[in-house]
Amino acid sequence: MKRRLSLVPAIALGIALTYSLHADTPVQTEPRPEPSPTAFALINKGNDYVGVQSKDKVVGIDSDKSLGSLRPNIWRITYYDPDTAMKSVEVKFGGGQEMEVSHPVHPLEFARNARNGGEILDRSKLHIDSDQALSIATDQGLVKPLALKATRLTLTSGDLGPVWKVELWAARMDKPDKEVSLGTVTLSATDGTIVRLDLHPDRVR
């Protein structure tokens, strides 16, 4: 009986040591993916893929409609290029990585601006980046209560300076797996003030 009792402290000590060893072992966790760069950060990255005559001479930025997140992952930076027929060169990014460099022939608004002599965006007036524009647009009272699903952003020259146009989509109330366009929020890329609200929250019904 005495021999059996003497084993109890030894067993307890072994359990304590095992627990201590496991407690000191760092828990392995999956690294969190880095967020995609903002539109303004991509301007700098795009400079590496265009000629010296185009560096920093941005005439417009646009994204694809976002998928699985409110933050777009596909972006196109369009630069003024006096050496091409369309006067523009476009760098396409996906997840922050360069995907394609092309000379667009489609009649984008800022491609037309480039052909007309270059509505080059004044970077000294660009203070509201894409993530800030997205936050301002989704915080509007008309859409804040809704289940927002996707966005698409465009930066171009406006009558009052550079503006972001943010298009929003939300889930339908009767069919949550379906989404509808709510319209757009247009805001100044200089100070974030709302230039125009064209929102239709009633579309979710």
Task: Report the Cα–Cα distance between both ends of the chain, in Å, rounded.
Answer: 78
3-state secondary structure of 59: strand
Long-range CB pairs of 90-95 (<8 Å, 24+ gap) are: 91/42, 91/45, 91/46, 91/49, 91/50, 93/37, 93/42, 93/45, 93/46, 95/36
The pTM of this model reads 0.80
Confidence (pLDDT) at 86: 83
3-state secondary structure of 183: strand
Of residues 22 and 61, the one with the higher pLDDT is 61
Would you report the helix, strand and coil content of the chain in percent, each value rounded to 5?
Answer: 30, 30, 40
Of residues 58 and 30, the one with the higher pLDDT is 58
Confidence (pLDDT) at 30: 55
Confidence (pLDDT) at 197: 97
70 contact partners, CB below 8 Å, separation of at least 6 = 134, 138, 148, 149, 150, 151
Q: Which helix (H) or strand (E) holds 184?
A: strand 179-188
Nearest CA-CA partner of 168 in 82, 59, 71, 100? 71
Please state, rounded to an integer, the average pLDDT across all residues of the chain: 85
Average pLDDT on 155-172 reads 94
* pLDDT (tens digit per residue) in 72-126: 999 999 999 999 888 899 999 999 999 999 987 765 565 555 555 558 999 999 9
Of residues 49 and 34, the one with the higher pLDDT is 49
Q: Which helix (H) or strand (E) holds 94?
A: strand 88-94
Contact 108, 78 (CB under 8 A): yes
Nearest CA-CA partner of 149 in 71, 70, 65? 70
Of residues 31 and 139, the one with the higher pLDDT is 139
Confidence (pLDDT) at 17: 43
Average pLDDT on 11-18 reads 47
User: Does the structure show a pLDDT above 60 at 146?
Assistant: yes
* pLDDT (tens digit per residue) in 177-190: 999 999 999 999 99
